[in-house]
Amino acid sequence: MKRLLLPLILVFGFLFFPLAYADTHFCPMKCEGEKTYSAPGSCPVCGMALEKKLEGEGAQPLNSRDFRVDLVLQPESPKAGEKVKVSLAPRRTLDNSALELEVVHEKPLHLITVTQELDWFSHDHPVKGTDGTWQLEMVFPRAGNYIFYADFVPKGARNQVFPLAFQVQGVRPKIKALKASSAPRKVGSYTFTLIQPKALLSNEAMTLTFKIAKGGKPVTDLQPYLGEKGHLVGVSEDTLSYAHSHPMDSKSGSEVAFMAHFPRPGLYKIWGQFLHQGQILIADFVLSVKEK
């Protein structure tokens, strides 16, 4: 079976390696916005380990060259609508050894999958197999280019995100180009309304708030989803920027607020994920971010 070691990570431009660190620490999920701490510790909101802020860089790199992720698909050329076995092997670059992963938000490995056009989204959790790889079965809805974002924390290291690109065979449908839209979203009997700043600017922390109603009545009894009141994933139109954040607080109510940070101007698609009465709800919006 041919391994997809995917040097595509370099093509996506996610790997860069600053040489120095500043003596400040912050929550990688931006739970408290731009707040920093002078010493290592844990975020008082979500509990994740604080990360060191890089000197001279506007954004933290998604991953370190100390690690890599090997991807194997069976069949090697998956087809739309058919089952595919996905195997992921997070490894240490130096000696090829398997990584031991921390449990973060109830799972060791979070796998975000999107199509290149961002019209399809999935958040899954591979299970460790007997051979030490992390596995799951998936069915991809259509032909085209896809990207996995493998999101995990190695023992003793900071959060790592590895983008892994692959293709699904079949007749490719024509997909409409992204258009900015923040109109309320209907998901079954639920309505999601997004409250956002009047101007979305790059490289500026801002609050995005989801208001949730069912049958016209505010939903005030959301259940914890992966240890949080909700999760927010955002990907830029060119798929070069990825973010995963958690609510700024865990208070009850029909509103869930997230701190967002868009590194570059352009279109971004965001997916809010929530749990209510045992049902996972996903509401998506497309945002237009302007140059600061």
- How many Cβ atoms sit within 10 Å of the Cβ of residue 38? 8
CATH code for the domain in which residue 241 is found: 2.60.40.10
Look at residues 155, 174, 193 and tell me which one is the last residue of a structural domain: 174
Domain count, the chain: 2
Taking the CB of residue 153, how many other CB atoms lie within 10 A of it?
20
User: Can you give the residue range of the structural domain that contains 218?
Assistant: 185-289
Does residue 159 sit in the same domain as residue 22? yes
- Of 126, 147, 174, which closes a domain? 174
For residues 160 and 201, membership in a common domain is answered with: no
- Classify residue 180: in a domain, yes or no: no
Is 203 in the same domain as 166?
Answer: no
> What integer pLDDT is reported at residue 42 of this predicted model?
72
In this predicted model, what pLDDT tens digit does every residue of 74-93 receive, in sequence order? 999 999 999 999 999 999 99
Nearest CA-CA partner of 256 in 270, 273, 244, 277? 273
Q: What percent of the chain has pLDDT over 70?
A: 80
Q: Which of 20-29, 39-48, 123-132, 170-179 has the lowest mean pLDDT?
A: 20-29
Domain boundary among 129, 149, 174: 174
CATH code (residue 55): 2.20.130.20
Q: Is the distance from CB of 49 to CB of 29 less than 8 angstroms?
A: no
Q: What pLDDT, on the 0 to 100 scale, is given for residue 44?
A: 74
Question: Which range among 25-29, 54-58, 162-166 has the greatest average pLDDT?
Answer: 162-166
Statement to judge: residues 239 and 126 lie in one domain: no
Q: Note the pLDDT of residue 9.
A: 31
Q: What pLDDT, on a 0 to 100 scale, did the predictor assign at position 251? A: 55
Q: Are the C-beta atoms of residues 239 and 233 closer than 8 Å to each other? A: no
Average pLDDT over residues 172-191: 94
pTM of the predicted model over 0.85: no
Q: Quick one: pLDDT at residue 7?
A: 35
Residues 55 and 138 grouped into a single domain: yes
Which residues have CB under 8 Å from 292's CB, separation 6+? 201, 202, 203, 204
Q: Give yes or no: residues 140 and 209 share one domain.
A: no
* Span of 73-87, 108-122, 212-226, 252-266 with lowest mean pLDDT: 252-266
pLDDT of residue 207: 93
* 8 has a pLDDT exceeding 50: no
Q: How high is the pLDDT of residue 21? A: 32
Residue 59's pLDDT is what?
52
Q: Verify that 166 and 189 share a domain, yes or no.
A: no
Residue at 179 is within a domain: no
Is residue 218, in this structure, part of any structural domain at all? yes
Residues 168 and 202 in one domain: no
Residue 238 inside a domain? The answer is yes
Query: Looking at residue 234, what is its pLDDT?
Result: 95
What is residue 39's predicted lDDT score, i.e. its pLDDT? 66
> How many CA atoms lie within 13 Å of 69's alpha carbon, on the beta-carbon side?
28
Residue bearing the bigger pLDDT, 50 or 19 = 50
pLDDT at 33: 57
Q: What is the mean pLDDT of the chain?
A: 85
Ramachandran angles phi, psi of 150, nearest 5° = -85, 115
Q: How far apart are CA 231 and CA 276, in angstroms?
A: 13
Please report, rounded to a whole number, the percentage of residues in the chain having pLDDT higher than 90.
70
137 shares its domain with 276:
no
Banded pLDDT at 18 (limits 50, 70, 90): very low
